[in-house]
Structure 1
Amino acid sequence: MDFDKYDSDNNSPYIGVHVKSKVINSLIKQKVSRNNKRLQKMNKIAKTNLYFFSEIDVDYISKKIKGVFYNTQTRKWTVADFPFPDVYYNRRGEKKDNKDVQTVRETFEKMGIAKINSNHFYNKWYSHQELDKNEELRPHLPKTILYKTESNLVNMFKDTSSLFLKSLRQNNGKGIMSVTKKTNCYEYKYFIERGLKEGTASTLEELIQIILSFYTDSEFIVQKQIDLLQYNHATLDLRCDVQRNGKGELECVSYAVRVSAKNSHITNTRTNPNIYPFETFFKEKLEFSDEEMLRLKNRLERLLFTIYEKLELNFGSYGEMGIDIGIDKEGRLWLFECNMKPGKNSLWACDEQTIDRAFLNPLEYAKFLTASSRQSERSN
């Protein structure tokens, strides 16, 4: 089947959404995630030519992709042949050694195909080093070091009794260990597929062995834990969705409050936290006045825009970023992590208009990129 015979608007850009092959198989079986349903809904409004594909669907010789799109005539997700995209939207989770995924990215890069997000993962240590060079951002970064030897932990424990260890590349709550120094032992927590794993180590040497076993040969950072604002004895933070819109301008689309599950050391959605819309939570739960909430929102927006723009200077332009921000008990804002291919699970606690906006913006930004590219070609 040729897509051009069906729903194509040839004046609009082709947007290729790169996902795992299992997502493609689910689409073909008409089992569609709420995220992809909403993206398709916004595709109708943006009037773009949206299709999904995996790396195994790319034919480099014919420059065609066997992708999946929503056929409005049959009301079914359908396989069709597509040209290489005008804009590459990478939603593909990956391991760093996946050569097929890398080939897709490198090919599109050489061809000059526009992409919504420049970088494909967030190296926590490299990014920390770059952000730490910015005087405005430095006060918002927890003390962080790259683990090399046992002495790194010893020195960090001189400053605090609680640390986070984080792998450099993993996200979605994976690769994070909480370690707390007690009077006679060390307590630790981390998540595995079966759930929360807790334990104690009687000596630092024993703790080191547990840590190295958890991270195997992967590098990780050591970060001071911040005494965060709490609600009902549970820690909370914010997932902020920042995007570029159809004019290429930055927007803080949503701020979702995540309150950790019982006994959890993190608030990531895979640990089943309670999630609230920003205004609802701060007004109803913490009893902020309108003025207090507006001041917090303004501080947040300034910080988020600075983080976003600083990372773009190092990695290239971005269409979207999920930024995790903590608030300590004195009201100070802390950057914990940036997600370059953000999941949107926290977003679903927001109102329908906000959800729509978060899925529409990347498509409108793709149109902006295409228009800019075509204008540049005409100028040359």
Structure 2
Amino acid sequence: MTKASSTDIRPYVGVLLTNGLINKLKKTSVNFPSYSRVLELAKEARAANVHLFFFASRNVDFKKKYINGIYLDFKKQRWLKKRFPFPHVLYDRLGSRNEKVLKLRKTMETEGVKKLNSMFYFNKWAVYEDLSRIENVKPFLPETKLFTDEDSLEEFIDENKVVYLKGVKSGKGKGVMQIKKVDNKYIYSHFKGMLTVKEADSFAAMMDDINSFYNQKTDSRFILQKGIDLINYGGNNVDFRAEVQRDGEGNLDIVGISARIAIKNSPITIHSSAVKLDTFLADYLHYPKEEMELKRVEIINFLHLIYHALEKVYGYFGEIGIDFGLDKEGKIWFIEPNAKTAKVSLMKAHDHQTYKKAFYNPISFSMFLANQPDDWFKKHCGNFSAVEEEIAFSCDEEDI
């Protein structure tokens, strides 16, 4: 069985998940955090008349070219197994890069399967290097360096007083550490399951913890980033997540922008409260109406600039979660892009119709891609080979 014909009225969209999630769906389990997102995607596919199925890498028969996928039968209200052809579009929700997943991605490319996103992850250092070469993007980037040695790190902290360390391939705030130098003491914090705040009397003592924190990870490289003097609310840092997608005509759609208010002392805004951008500007920062509208337009222009810049470097994307901050002078700063946003802040801050739209857009954009000629796709999308660098990823990253 080969890839489904592109002349089909209903395109096939395959969503690549972890083995663990597929097993839970097979057992008709709904007791896992991302189930609501899986269900929402299935509902929107049904509304769009698209063949949507979910699968893991081990469900693929590479020789016979078919996939033992799972789909939701709405009449029976059950998740059922079925043999599917290779899809028209691959919606890759994995951060994994094990041998079988790499083979799957390469096979999909060879078979002409189109990707919703040209990249399945972003390397933080590569993104900074690539975007810093684009002149009109460079002013939005905080000073960033790749860690090379302890002396340069100590010097960077002395110069900036507040510094963030970030694992180049970490996600969900797992590889982020904030360091503040106050007098001759170092106060540093990170969030991994719970907030940890420590204090060291010397750089050497703190460095022991830094080495332990990053060497436990598969890829221990990390970047140094100058801390942004972010606006705060109630003494807690605030940043923003924009859900930017392409719609059924290939046009950019800023589905929602959420202000994320960190928990006390946290270096990241994961597990934060969230409100709509307009609500935050008007009710929390008390922007006058005209000033709020000007700032909103400035932010929208910034998001378009960053999205197009990322596509210029890496190829076409159906969706990117763009994190950015405002400093106390109102300047916009780019923080990082996310190739596999879980849309948690969107759900917290926005109404259900907006949330539904964030799942409909990937489906409708997949329909758009399925109807484009192959040469169009190659012109607008990066190659799978563009991400074939020395990377190791956990196979169990959150993936939907």
Q: Same fold (TM over 0.5)?
A: yes
- Partners of 2:145 and 2:269 in 1: CA distance: 22
1:376 Cα deviation from its structure 2 partner: 6.7
What CA deviation, in whole Å up to 9, does each residue of 1:283-311 have, x standing for no partner? 22222233222212211111111111111
Name the residue aligned to 2:223.
221
Superimposed CA distance per residue, residues 87-123 of structure 1 (whole angstroms, 9 cap, x where no aligned partner): 00001232x4x11111111111122210000111111
Q: Secondary structure at the match of 1:69?
A: strand
Q: Quote the Cα distance in structure 2 between the aligned partners of 1:140 and 1:120.
A: 24
C-alpha distance in 2 between matches for 1:134 and 1:357? 31
What is the number of residues matched between the two proteins? 364
Equivalence for 1:299: 298
Worse-matched range after superposition: 9-18 or 361-370: 9-18
Looking at structure 1, the residues matched to 340 and 288 of structure 2 have their Cα atoms a distance apart, in angstroms, of 34
Q: Equivalents in 1 of 2:29, 2:144: separation in Å? A: 42
Match of 1:31 in 2: 29
Q: Which moved more, 1:110-119 or 1:204-213?
A: 204-213
- Give the equivalent residue in structure 1 for 2:108: 108
Matching residue within 267, 270, 276 for 2:269: 267
Gaps of 5+ in 1: none
Q: For 2:248, what is the secondary structure of its paired residue?
A: coil
Q: Which runs of 5+ in 2 are unaligned?
A: 378-400
Q: Work out whether residues 69 and 81 of structure 2, in 8 Å CA contact, stay in contact via their aligned partners in 1.
A: yes
Distance 1:164 1:66 in 2: 44
241-250 vs 181-190, greater mean Cα deviation: 181-190
Letter in structure 1 aligned against 2:19: S
Tell me the CA shift for residue 161 of structure 1.
Answer: 0.6
Task: Indicate the residue corresponding to 2:170 in structure 1.
Answer: 170
1:85 matched to 2:87? The reply is yes
Looking at structure 1, the residues matched to 328 and 375 of structure 2 have their Cα atoms a distance apart, in angstroms, of 50
For the Cα contact (< 8 Å) 2:191–2:267, is it kept in 1?
no
Structure 2 CA distance for partners of 1:375 and 1:128, relative to 1, 3 Å: closer
- In structure 1, what is the Cα distance between the partners aligned to 2:297 and 2:180? 34
Instruction: Say if 1:157 and 1:374 are closer, same or farther in 2 by CA, change over 3 A.
Output: closer
For residues 277 and 34 of structure 1, the distance between their equivalents in structure 2, rounded to whole angstroms, comes to: 21
Match of 2:56 in 1: 54
* TM-score, scaled relative to structure 1: 0.92
CA distance in 2, matches of 1:291, 1:25: 52
How far apart are 1:374 and its partner, in Å? 7.1
Q: Residue 234 of structure 1 corresponds to which residue in structure 2?
A: 236
Alignment partners' CA distance in 2, 1:84 and 1:223 = 42
Q: Secondary structure at the match of 1:287?
A: coil
| Structure-2 separation of matches of 1:151 and 1:184 | 16
Q: 284-293 or 124-133, which moves further after superposition?
A: 284-293
1:208-227 Cα shifts (integer Å, max 9, x gaps): 22211111161100001111
The residue that corresponds to 2:310 in the other structure is 311
Cα deviation, residue 10, structure 1: 4.5
Partner of 1:15: 13
Structure 1 residues 188-237: Cα deviation after superposition (integer angstroms, max 9, x where no partner):
111223x1222122211222222111111611000011110111111111
Residue identity opposite 1:227 in structure 2: D
Q: Highest relative contact order (Cα 8 Å, sep 6+), 1 or 2?
A: 2
In the alignment, the residues of structure 2 paired with residue 297 and residue 200 of structure 1 have an alpha-carbon distance, to the nearest angstrom, of 39
Partners of 1:376 and 1:342 in 2: CA distance: 26
Equivalent residue for 1:325?
A: 324
Per the alignment, residue 197 of structure 1 pairs with 196
| Identical amino acids, percent of aligned pairs | 36
Is the 1:167–1:220 Cα contact (8 Å) retained in structure 2? yes
